[in-house]
Amino acid sequence: MFQSSTYKSRRETLKKEMGSGLLLFLGNDDMGLHYADNAFRYRQDSTFLYYFGISSAGLSAVIDIDNDTTILFGDELTMDHIIWMGVQPTLVDKASQVGITNVRPSKELSNYLAKNKGQTIHHLPAYRAEHQLKFLALLNEQPGSQNPSIPLIQAVVKQRNIKTSEEIVEIEKACNITADMHIAATKAISADLYEYEVAALIEYTAAKNNAELSFATIASINGQTLHNHYHGNKCKDGRLFLIDAGAEVPSGYAGDMSSTVPVSKHFTAKQRAVYEIQNRMHLAAVAGIKPGLPFTELHNIAMRELAEGMKELGIMKGNIDEAVREGAHALFCPHGLGHMMGLDVHDMENFGEQWVGYDGKPKSTQFGRASLRLGQPLKPGFVHTIEPGIYFIPDLIDKWKGEHLHTDFINYDELEKYRDFGGIRNEEDYLVTETGGKRLGKKIPLTPEEVEALR
């Protein structure tokens, strides 16, 4: 938790940006895994955390701009809570730590909203079923036809997209732990282990540093599957092992890195050749980070490296600029170069990518580019990932080949030799500065040599 002045100033900025109306924020509740009381780990809503700082279930808040008042709605603990959950500061104490003096019982929220019916009520989109139920109960908004406020989304995005120095300190903590998670796994991977044993080590490294996971760990010999959470395979000599994992520190900020390691001690010549293309993509993207450059351009820079490298291997052919424009490279990288990162690992993804990553402008619908979550011109204070990948996805290859897609650019015969290759991704986190990009957190191995040195 930051100083109370941080939260007060964040709320003041938001009030000025919005000008008028009533801003309603729902905190997150506990969610039952098997039954209500056996809850998943508690995670406060990130926007609630950003403006109100308190990480407890059962809270809502109102910033009533027209009546110049900010109210936290929630209930004090009972003796039963104290017996089962321990002594805690009162809600009034917690509120005062984030600069709020007006605390009311949660049951008063619906009356407060009813009394202020004339006002425009702004709220954010519901990404949990519990939020849909609350909007139904509080505002009679039916599930499926709920009405988030675009001006509020825009105002929150404008603010949360620019990270302050105290936020960078927290993100850097998360990135350092994230790097340790990757380095521990890189050292340990061997054909003796199951994927879940590697995943266990990655997650242990987070937990013993008092961190949660910022997202579900990917740790797989099937790196060609982009978000593969199945960890039941035995590692196998000759395969590549792909890790995508990150830490979330107690303040809520995330890290997010990927790395790719040969199960055997060394890369094969074929793996090394593809790995070096991935590295070229990565370095070209990092070198290109600068304020004002649209992230779509950075994506194109990396994808041109991909297509050129594939052409050198004989897998692609023809005019590279044209191939990238047409999206032929996306057979090998169907995802985007990166995304915003902050209190969420895909920052504010619940608001919709067009608002967070595209400043409201439309996004490409082309296969591959449609999965690019960030497109707008970079600004100092943005924190984003750089995570180019190269994958050989048998089902996708068969589909494209069967549909004769991009036959001017893809040499399907040569491609067959790589069918069982797997996938490679490396990922780092960058802060956009006034002059370029600054890596956040310790360095993880990025080149074949750096990886082999740890094996």
Interface residues with its own copies (CB under 8 A)? 31-41, 43, 46, 79, 82-87, 127-130, 132-133, 136-137, 143, 194, 196-197, 199-201, 203-204, 207-208, 210, 215-216, 222, 225-232, 334, 343-346, 348-350, 393, 395-396, 399
Calpha distance 186→335 (Å, rounded)? 24
Residue 312 tokens read as: 């050198």
Q: How far is the CB of 1 from its own copies (least distance, A)?
A: 13
Q: What is the phi-psi region of residue 347: left when phi exceeds 0, alpha when psi lies from -120 to 50, beta otherwise?
A: beta
Q: How far is the CB of 210 from its own copies (least distance, A)?
A: 5
Whole-number CA gyration radius for the chain: 24
Q: How far is the CB of 273 from its own copies (least distance, A)?
A: 24
Residue 47 tokens read as: 């926007």
Q: How far is the CB of 205 from its own copies (least distance, A)?
A: 9
The residue (of 225 and 268) whose beta carbon lies closer to its own copies is 225
The residue (of 41 and 118) whose beta carbon lies closer to its own copies is 41
The residue (of 60 and 70) whose beta carbon lies closer to its own copies is 60
Q: How far is the CB of 156 from its own copies (least distance, A)?
A: 13
Distances from the Cα of 38 to the Cα of 33, 34, 58, 127, angstroms = 6, 6, 16, 21
Q: How far is the CB of 43 from its own copies (least distance, A)?
A: 5
The residue (of 24 and 320) whose beta carbon lies closer to its own copies is 24
C-alpha of 3 from chain center: 25
Pairs from 74-79 (Cβ < 8 Å, separation ≥ 24): 74/27, 74/103, 74/105, 74/106, 75/105, 75/106
Q: How far is the CB of 200 from its own copies (least distance, A)?
A: 3
The residue (of 349 and 450) whose beta carbon lies closer to its own copies is 349
Q: How far is the CB of 231 from its own copies (least distance, A)?
A: 8
User: Hey, which residues does 391 pair with through a beta bridge?
Assistant: 423
* Residue whose tokens read 């989304």: 153
C-alpha of 111 from chain center: 36
- The H or E element containing residue 103 is strand 103-104
The residue (of 131 and 304) whose beta carbon lies closer to its own copies is 131
Calpha distance 267→187 (Å, rounded)? 15
Distances from the Cα of 454 to the Cα of 29, 175, 182, 392, 449, angstroms = 42, 19, 11, 26, 9
The residue (of 15 and 123) whose beta carbon lies closer to its own copies is 123
Q: How far is the CB of 209 from its own copies (least distance, A)?
A: 8
Q: How many distinct helices (H) and strands (E) make up the chain?
A: 16, 15
63: nearest Cα among 111, 125, 15, 10: 15
**Which residues contact residue 24 at a Cβ distance below 8 angstroms, ignoring those fewer than 6 apart?**
60, 61, 62, 113, 121, 122, 123, 138
Buried residues in 271-299 as b, exposed as e (16+ CB within 10 A): beebbbbbbbbbbbbbebbbbeeebbebb
Q: How far is the CB of 396 from its own copies (least distance, A)?
A: 6
The residue (of 15 and 339) whose beta carbon lies closer to its own copies is 339
User: Hey, which residues does 260 pair with through a beta bridge?
Assistant: 242
Q: Do the Cβ atoms of 53 and 97 come closer than 8 Å?
A: yes
The residue (of 343 and 451) whose beta carbon lies closer to its own copies is 343
The residue (of 85 and 269) whose beta carbon lies closer to its own copies is 85
The residue (of 225 and 433) whose beta carbon lies closer to its own copies is 225
Q: Collapsing DSSP states into helix, strand and coil, what is residue 332?
A: coil
Q: How far is the CB of 168 from its own copies (least distance, A)?
A: 19
**Which residues contact residue 298 at a Cβ distance below 8 angstroms, ignoring those fewer than 6 apart?**
285, 288, 289, 337, 338, 378
